[in-house]
Structure formats: C-alpha cells, structure tokens
Structure 1
Amino acid sequence: MKSKVTLFFFISLFALILSACSMAGMDHSNMNMGDKDAETKKEETKDLQATAAAETITDNEFTLVAQERTHNLTSKKSVTAWTFNGSVPGPEIRVQEGEEVKINLKNELKDPVTIHWHGLPVPNEMDGIPGVTQNAVQPGESFTYKFTAEVPGTYWYHSHQEGATQVDKGLYGSFIVEGKDQREYDRDYTLVLDEWMSNMDSMDMEETMNIESDNAENMEGMDHSNMEMGPKAELAGPESEDMAHDMSMYNIYTINGKSGESINKLTVKEGEKVRLRLVNAGFMSHKIHLHGHNFKIISSDGQNISNPQEVKEQLISIAPGERYDIEFTADNPGEWLLECHGDMEGTDGMRTLIQYEDFSGKSTDKSNNREELPAFDLTSYGEKEEGEFTLDQVYDVSYTMDLNTQTTNGKQKFTINDKTYPQTEQIQVNEGDTVKVNLVNNSKDDDHPMHLHGHFFQVLSKNGKPVEGSPLMKDTISLEPGDEYIVAFKADNRGNWMFHCHDLHHATAGMVTQVNYEGFKPNFVPDPAANNNPE
C-alpha cells in the first residue's frame, strides 16, 4: 500500500518541474510518455487526472490533516482558509466500488472538527456528526473513519462541526467511487463550486464566527440523538442568537478553489468522451451552462439516470450539496465557455474554458451569463421505468415536513413544523420500514436544499405532478419557495441520521431533524467537554 505522504511528495515534485518548464495548466490525462502503450499511460497518470485543484488520492488508506493555510482565490486575492492537506478543495479521493477505506483525520486546527461523507451510505458511527455519531475531534487529536465504498458515484466530504463556518472556510473535498462496470472516459474532470467573501478575514467574518461559537457553547455536551434533553435544551440552539446571513456578502465565486482567470482550463481533444462531475460545496445554487456542445446528464447525486437524452443550451441549477455528472463528445473544436449564469457580483468569476488541444484559431465564443436560458428539468428527464416506490402504495411511516422561516424579536430562525433543532420532531422508523416524506417550502424568500444522511430517497412528485422520466434517486433535493416534493426511502441503514437544509446557515438556525431507528444506541458517549456542534 502506497504511503500518502510519498504520493504527495512525488506529485508536488512533478508539478514543480512542470512549472519550471512553463507548462502550468497542462492536462495530466494526456501526457506525452514516449513509446509506452495507452494502457500503461492510463495507469501511470490515473492519480493525476481528475481535478487540477489538489492532489488525487487513490489508495484505500490515507490521512487527511485539517490545518490553516493562506489560500489564493485569484492572483490578487488571498484568504486565510481551513484546509484538508493544505488545499481548497482538499485532496480528491478516488476509490473502487467495494473497496474498504480507512481515513485518518488529524486535527491541527484550533477548533474541533469532523468529516461527513456527503451522500455515501456509510455505517452510522462513521457519518461524522458531532454529538450524534461521534465526539468532535479535538485540536491535536485524531480519529479514524472506516467503511466500505459500496455505491458508485460522485460524492464529497466536509466538516460537520459548526459547518456554516468550517465549510465556509474551506474544509471540503470530492470523493469519487468508481464503479466496476463504469464507462471509461478520455477525460474525467471534477469541478467543485463554491462562493467566498472578499472580506472573509475582516471583523465581519469574525463576528459571524463568534455568533456561531456562542451557539455551539449553548449546545455543548448535548446528546442530539435524544430529544428529551431537559431544561438545557430549551435554552439551546438558534432561538438564543440572530443567525440571519446576508448572502450578497459572497462576492467571489470559485471552481476548484479559484476564481476567474485563475481557474484551470479543461483540455480536450477532438473525438474524446468527456465527463464533468459538478459538485456544489457552497451555500447558493449555481446555474451552469456548457457552451458549444450537446451533452447528457448521466447522474444526479451520484445515482445513474436511465437512458439520458442529449440536451443543449439549457441551464443546470445545482443546489448546495447536490452533484450532477454530465458527459459530452468533444466534436466542436475551439475554445468554449463553461460558466455560471446570474446577476450576482461573483457570477463572472465562476467560468472556465473547454480548450481543444489542436485548435489554433481564435475563439469566437462569448459569455452570455446574463441571459435566462431554459432550465433543465430533472423530473421529466431520462427513460421512464418502474422504480422501487410509487405514490399510491401504503407506507409504514408517513411524515410531512413544513419548512418555514420565522423572525422573533428581530432574530431569524428556520423551522421544521414550527420548531427548531433539537426540539424538532424526529422521524421514528423500524429497520425495513418504507417511509414517505412530504416536503413543503413555506418560506417566502428562501430555497431549502434538504439533505438526508445515510440513505437515498426516490423523488415521486413535484408540486403535485408525478415524476415522468427516469426513476430519480437522490440524497439532496432543493425546494424553492412554494415547492412541494414527495420522496420515499427504505429504512435499511440502522442509526440516528440527520435530515437538514444544506444551506448550513439555515441548519445552524434550526432547520434540522433526525431519522432515528427504534432501539438503536450509539456506540459512543457524548463528551460535555467536546464542544459538539453538529451544524
């Protein structure tokens, strides 16, 4: 088994040599390696192919170190970031379906951290939720995550301790499980989307962090797996703090931790099959437009779509926590934009180029990111097939989740059925139960991307209209104001699992509940000194 440190050394040395030769931005998936055959090239470059933002780890045992570093968003703007292994995003992890994975988290930050494996159906004790599945990992300490990567797809990982702060500061990375029967692609790029504040290191950010820190102190020592927590619970949580957050403060949009001209181009050759894995690690939805090519959406949240059709000139809206994989054939030589559409201050920075290697002409493609192009509709896409669940079947458990926003005494909170976590009503299930959840967004102005841990759910209907295309399996679904979705899942992964909004400001301010299995007991004892704060 390779040493992760050794791998990092050689990749770093290799990158340094390339830089010295004025070859920065080179696509490592297509290196000239002399007389070696294609299969040898493929094996030797696999570790270097995916993202250009950080190293790629392909071992099944490695270490992630949480540490503070200066991070360059552009050539002119740097921020103090919290990183995994010194980069934002952290290392991309690529493992094989069925592979047993061991990840050692070492915390070199001043605050406790955890790692949540977003979308991966891991054992409950490996889910990385402080106070629910483990105690937060203290400064100077370590924790080892062990699980089997059973379901292929595009996932990501991030801290779940004070997430609205820690994810905001850069504690995330992509996690790819390559399927045994997965189609081979000539290029396989991962693009992690995020947004930053240009004044991130100013007093405004520090004040926000202090608010969340105060909120964490109110919740420290609480066992969130049990809602009957006595008088302390009445004083805890978002009711005690003003957690409203001005999203216009986010004015630098990034792809793989870089913005504008600092984003690496995506190199292709004519005739190649290209896969783009789009991951939203931020707190805002982003509408992505691929210029100049027909493409297919082959999966959402890592789950395959049946017989996807080609689309063109449509916007894919990717909500916080969601992932979309698209494929296209490089059949239109030139330089083509992949860009975000919208009118926010940071929109122009979220764009890169699809650049053909042998193209010698002048690019004529222009940005049109202020145009409102047609929106891609996932609920009517792909080939209709019979899924595991239907709208008219009888379910063991049915639950309605009224998502709303309240302001009390000038303080904003986000509620589920008029309550905030940890007072929200749990969804109690027995192993093997079929569960139907009716999600309704009654907030006037806020989107709510709802994420279920430990399970995939099937989306059955949107706003009263049944899903018409491929059976739609997801772990995150975004509701705009007025939206109503019905989803269903099987209780087949014992534990206590969070179900929450992945705008983590909303989660911190109360929009969290849990799916709890009857009779399940966590295998850890909550430590009052651990400062456990699951959001």
Structure 2
Amino acid sequence: MNGNSMDGMDHSTMNMNDGSTSGKQETSNTTVKTAKLTGKEFTLTAAASSQEIAPGKTLPVWTFNNSVPGPEIRVKQGEDVTIHLKNELPDPVTIHWHGIPVPNAMDGIPGVTQNAVQPGKSFTYKFTADVPGTYWYHSHQDGVNQVDRGLYGSFIVEGKDETKVDRDYTLVLDEWISSGMSMADMDMDMSNMSEMDHSQMEKSDMSDMSEMDHSQMDMGGDDSAAGASTNDSKSAGMEMEHDMSMYDLYTINGKSGSLVEQLAVKEGDKVRLRLVNAGFMSHRIHLHGHKFKITASDGQPLNQPGILEDNIVTIAPGERYDIEFEANNPGQWLIEEHGDSEAVKGMKAVIAYEGADAGSDKPNERAKLTAVDLSKYGQSGKSAFTLDQKYTMEYTMDLNTKKESGSTVYTINGKTFPNTDKLNVKKGDTVKVRLINNSKTDDHPMHLHGHFFQVLSKDGKPLEGSPVIKDTINLKPGEEYVIAFQADNEGNWMFHCHDLHHASAGMVTKLEYTDFKTDFVADPKAGNKPE
C-alpha cells in the first residue's frame, strides 16, 4: 500500500493493489469487486468489457481497469499524483478529475486542454492533491455516451486533519437501461425508419434490442430532445424525445438489487458514507435506523451540521455528499433510494452489523419524507464572500430550453455551445454569478471546472445555515442561485450542466482567463468532443 494507511478503517472488503506504485489491478471476470488503489502513481486502462449489473442481467460496458465503477483512488492531502491513462477502446477518451482543482492542462477536456487520447495511445496526468474531500473521475470525451457506458470512478483525497472513522465506504450511484439498447444504433437506422410512427412505442416493443449497448441512449427531461447536434435522426426529420424512464436499473457501485455489496459494521463504529452521483438523474437517499449528519458537500466541510433522522438527502448528477453516523442500533438496516419508479428498488445497500439476523429491516422507498434543504442546514460561520460586497465581475446565466431546427436544445442566455457567451476573467478577480433555471421541467446541475464556489443565496434569500462551498449545484425549474468565486486557477475551463444529455445539446459555456496563454494546439483529426 506504499506506506499509505487508513487508520481505524476496515479493509476486509477492499481489493487492494499489490503494493506497486502503478496501482494496477488484474481482473478477468464480471464479478470482481471495485478495487481501492492507494499510492501516488496509478495506471487506468480504458477497455470494453461486460458486467453483471443486476441478477441475471449482464450488459456491455466500458471500464477503467475492467470494472464499473473504475478503481477508487485514495491519496493523501499534499501528495503529487501521477495517473497513466491507457486507451484500449475503439474510440478516443480522456479523464476529467471532477471537483479536484488541477492545473488547466490536466483537466482532461478534449479540444480545450488536450487532444482526446486515441485508441492504442496513452496520456499521463500529474497534479498535486491539495484539497481533501470526496471527488470522482470520468471521461469528458463524448461524455453523454462514455460516462453512460461506465467510464468513471471515485477519487478520495484524505485530509491531514480529517475526522477519523472506523468504516469509510463510497457509494457511487448510477442508472442503466436493462434492455442494453443503444440510441446510437437506433440513429444508424433512423433514416430508413423515417416514415414510421414511433409515438406509441413501448419499452416492451424494444425487447429485440436486448443485445445492444444501452449507453448511447441520449435522454434528458420530459420536454427535451435527443441531445447532440450530430444526431443522425434529425436528418430524417425526426425528433426522439428524452425519456428518463428508460433508465430502469438503478445501481450502487455498478450493482443493483441483491448484487449490491453489504456494508459491514460493528456496534460502536463511527461510519462515513461517501455518496457520489455518476448518473444523469437526481437520487433521493434515505438512511434507515440511525441519526446522521451531512458533514461535507462536494468534498467541502459543512459548519456544525445538525442531527438528521428519516430525512432524504437529494444528490444531483455530479454532486457528492458525505454523511456520518454512529453504529448504535444493531441489526440489518437499509440505505435506499426513494421514489415512485420501480427502478428505485434496486438502489439499496444493507448496513449489516456483525452477527445480526438478515432481513430485520424493510424497504419503504415510497414513504414521503422531508428532504434536507442545504441552504438552511448547519450553522453560519466565517465565509469568503457576501451578497453585498463589491465584485470585479458579475454575470447572469439564464438556463432554458427551446426548439431549434425541429429539435430541443438547452441554452445559456438563449445560445448553445460553442456559441454561448464566455465568462471572461483575470487572475485575482472576484466573480458573482446569478444562475436562473427557466426550463419548465428540467433540472440543471451546473458544474464549474477548476474552481470551488460559495453559494450565497437561493431564490433571493441569503443562506441561513452553514457556508456552502461546492463545484456542482442543482437548479430545479424556477429556482435561482447566486454564487461567488475567486479567479485563482488560470486556464480555460468548462461550465456546464452535468445532465450530460443537456450538455451535449448545448448547455455548456467556458470560463476563460483573458491573460492566460496556453501551448495547447487542438488537432482537427483527434475527433475531440468536449461536451
């Protein structure tokens, strides 16, 4: 383990590397547990595989080191980290380090900070893990498809002064299409199907597509259309509306239902659960049988978090929440998704006390429980920004939806990427951004690369609780947030919706430092797709 200990933690379920600094994991089957790699140097190999997602349901996937999620990487605060990406996929790929403030050249954005890594080629990422917290990594090349196929994993920076716990588990949330259907495959045939009426198509009609790869299905909100401007169906004069209900398998760490690994505890343990949403839908998580605290959002600590019980923690795409509880109620208890969809039944993990009888807790995924409002949670404390201070730059971002050339697109101030207006700053600027969701039905989880921001207000009201520092914030229809940040990391950075269906259909802009000079030159032959 290269000298990196995780004091007090239980490692009985961890599949660690062999101690070499490369962090390689040899795998050869679909049931291997996700590795947890420690050290300072790692190799991540992107390759096609298959994985049993639910009992009896094996799907084609794209993987890092032959598993979905890819290996969890754990490093110590202040360590210099080196990650070698090897691409054994048929398509180009990159890795973005979501939430980690890396140098711009290491951000993994094809056409912006690097060229996409071609099949058979490699790329090395190097950065210092300065800020502790829960993060994740994922492909940012054609992300709406590659992340959906499984190209992601968690990344934990262990803080020098962080609270010690006895058990530290990461739960990566995602959703899949059980049919294995591929929108990309459908698009290939669309021009031959242009005269057909698909308005009444049911999921059962698609059972003959079970061998297809589900991950190319471009979907979004109820009133949204199928994604990217390159969608071949448009040439046939057709519009495939997003239907998120097609995601009918919800997973924790790449598994659904009885395949989800139990979380072992013993009475008296202090337990941390790191919740990471790698999917395109928000998930409403309920911890049974225990009082708990939300100790961090997007890896950043909350001040004096209050005790919660039977509350929902809502986690939007790209967000992370750390929750902590004391194992003081022996038995077997669930942590589960809540909602009306049948798919929520698969997003459950059992918290199993040593020696406890199986089945001592029952699901209640349809119970109506109160969700935590982060704008009113915790206690006020010292913060970097206030609503009424003077800022160097102020911007407004109107997030909306409109029809364009017969398709639904997702806009920022009425424009779609790459024609959206950039946020131009200089190093040292203080920047205030007003975000407004004017879409009628779609959430927009907005993610800023390379920076943390402070949330100042929600719907015109200043935050009442803890200062909230994030890199991803979800706006529900009609909501408005004001955020602020310091321009302290020079480069050209993405600012986009992390429902990647929306990003691929236009909801992307860039934060650019006007005094920043880059040596990067985009290769027009690289097939760069940064959205």
Normalised by the length of structure 1, the TM-score is 0.84
SS of equivalent residue, structure 2 residue 258: helix
Q: Is residue 508 of structure 1 aligned with residue 504 of structure 2?
A: yes
Tell me the distance in 1 between the aligned counterparts of 2:44 and 2:104. 20
1:520-531 equivalent positions in 2, closer than 5 A: 520-531=516-527
Offset of 1:371 from its aligned partner? 1.5
Q: Is residue 497 of structure 1 aligned with residue 493 of structure 2?
A: yes
SS of equivalent residue, structure 1 residue 414: strand
Query: What amino acid maps onto 2:288 in structure 1?
Result: H
Offset of 1:205 from its aligned partner? 5.0
Offset of 1:326 from its aligned partner? 0.3
SS of equivalent residue, structure 2 residue 148: coil
Counterpart of 2:426 (choices 424, 430, 437) is 430
Q: Is residue 249 of structure 1 aligned with residue 246 of structure 2?
A: yes
SS of equivalent residue, structure 2 residue 59: strand
Offset of 1:206 from its aligned partner? 2.4
Tell me the distance in 1 between the aligned counterparts of 2:184 and 2:56. 20
Tell me the distance in 2 between the aligned counterparts of 1:239 and 1:512. 17
Which structure features the higher share of helix residues? 1
Counterpart of 1:416 (choices 409, 412, 417) is 412
Task: Give the aligned partner of residue 138 of structure 2.
Answer: 158
Task: Give the aligned partner of residue 351 of structure 2.
Answer: 354
Q: What RMSD over aligned residues (CA atoms) do the two structures have, in Å?
A: 2.1
Tell me the distance in 2 between the aligned counterparts of 1:195 and 1:209. 24
Counterpart of 1:399 (choices 395, 400, 409) is 395
SS of equivalent residue, structure 2 residue 11: helix
Query: What amino acid maps onto 1:462 in structure 2?
Result: K
Tell me the distance in 2 between the aligned counterparts of 1:109 and 1:209. 20
Q: Is 1:267–1:357's contact at 8 Å kept on the other side of the alignment?
A: yes
User: Residue by residue, what CA displacement relative to the aligned partner does 1:124-166 show, whole Å, maximum 9, x if unpaired?
Assistant: 0000000000000000000000000000000000000000000
Task: Give the aligned partner of residue 474 of structure 1.
Answer: 470
Q: Is 1:277–1:324's contact at 8 Å kept on the other side of the alignment?
A: yes
Tell me the distance in 1 between the aligned counterparts of 2:118 and 2:453. 33
Q: Is 1:253–1:349's contact at 8 Å kept on the other side of the alignment?
A: yes
Q: Is residue 323 of structure 1 aligned with residue 320 of structure 2?
A: yes
User: Residue by residue, what CA displacement relative to the aligned partner does 1:160-197 show, whole Å, maximum 9, x if unpaired?
Assistant: 00000000000000000000111111100000000001
SS of equivalent residue, structure 2 residue 435: strand
Task: Give the aligned partner of residue 515 of structure 2.
Answer: 519
SS of equivalent residue, structure 1 residue 283: coil
Offset of 1:409 from its aligned partner? 4.1
Task: Give the aligned partner of residue 437 of structure 2.
Answer: 441
Offset of 1:402 from its aligned partner? 0.2
Tell me the distance in 1 between the aligned counterparts of 2:283 and 2:68. 19
Q: Is 2:452–2:485's contact at 8 Å kept on the other side of the alignment?
A: yes
Offset of 1:2 from its aligned partner? 5.8
Tell me the distance in 1 between the aligned counterparts of 2:240 and 2:468. 33
Task: Give the aligned partner of residue 216 of structure 1.
Answer: none
Counterpart of 1:180 (choices 132, 138, 160) is 160
Offset of 1:210 from its aligned partner? 9.6
Q: Is 1:243–1:509's contact at 8 Å kept on the other side of the alignment?
A: no
Q: Is 1:238–1:510's contact at 8 Å kept on the other side of the alignment?
A: no
Query: What amino acid maps onto 2:57 in structure 1?
Result: K
Tell me the distance in 2 between the aligned counterparts of 1:266 and 1:405. 41
Cα gap change, 1:83 to 1:299, in 2 (>3 Å): same
Cα gap change, 1:79 to 1:450, in 2 (>3 Å): same
Cα gap change, 1:342 to 1:120, in 2 (>3 Å): same
Unaligned runs of 5+ in 1: 4-26, 32-46, 212-235
Counterpart of 1:199 (choices 158, 167, 179) is 179
Task: Give the aligned partner of residue 11 of structure 2.
Answer: 29
Q: Is residue 285 of structure 1 aligned with residue 282 of structure 2?
A: yes
SS of equivalent residue, structure 2 residue 153: strand
Tell me the distance in 2 between the aligned counterparts of 1:347 and 1:513. 33
Tell me the distance in 2 between the aligned counterparts of 1:113 and 1:291. 39
Tell me the distance in 1 between the aligned counterparts of 2:348 and 2:403. 37
Cα gap change, 1:203 to 1:191, in 2 (>3 Å): closer
User: Residue by residue, what CA displacement relative to the aligned partner does 1:291-316 show, whole Å, maximum 9, x if unpaired?
Assistant: 00000000000000011111000000
Offset of 1:74 from its aligned partner? 1.7
Tell me the distance in 1 between the aligned counterparts of 2:426 and 2:128. 23
Offset of 1:245 from its aligned partner? 2.5
Query: What amino acid maps onto 1:422 in structure 2?
Result: P
Query: What amino acid maps onto 1:446 in structure 2?
Result: D
Tell me the distance in 1 between the aligned counterparts of 2:382 and 2:458. 17
SS of equivalent residue, structure 2 residue 391: coil
Tell me the distance in 2 between the aligned counterparts of 1:30 and 1:83. 24
Q: Is 1:238–1:420's contact at 8 Å kept on the other side of the alignment?
A: no
Task: Give the aligned partner of residue 337 of structure 1.
Answer: 334
Task: Give the aligned partner of residue 83 of structure 1.
Answer: 63
SS of equivalent residue, structure 1 residue 151: coil
Task: Give the aligned partner of residue 370 of structure 1.
Answer: 366
Q: How many residues align?
A: 468
Q: Is residue 140 of structure 1 aligned with residue 120 of structure 2?
A: yes
Query: What amino acid maps onto 1:206 in structure 2?
Result: D
Query: What amino acid maps onto 1:439 in structure 2?
Result: L
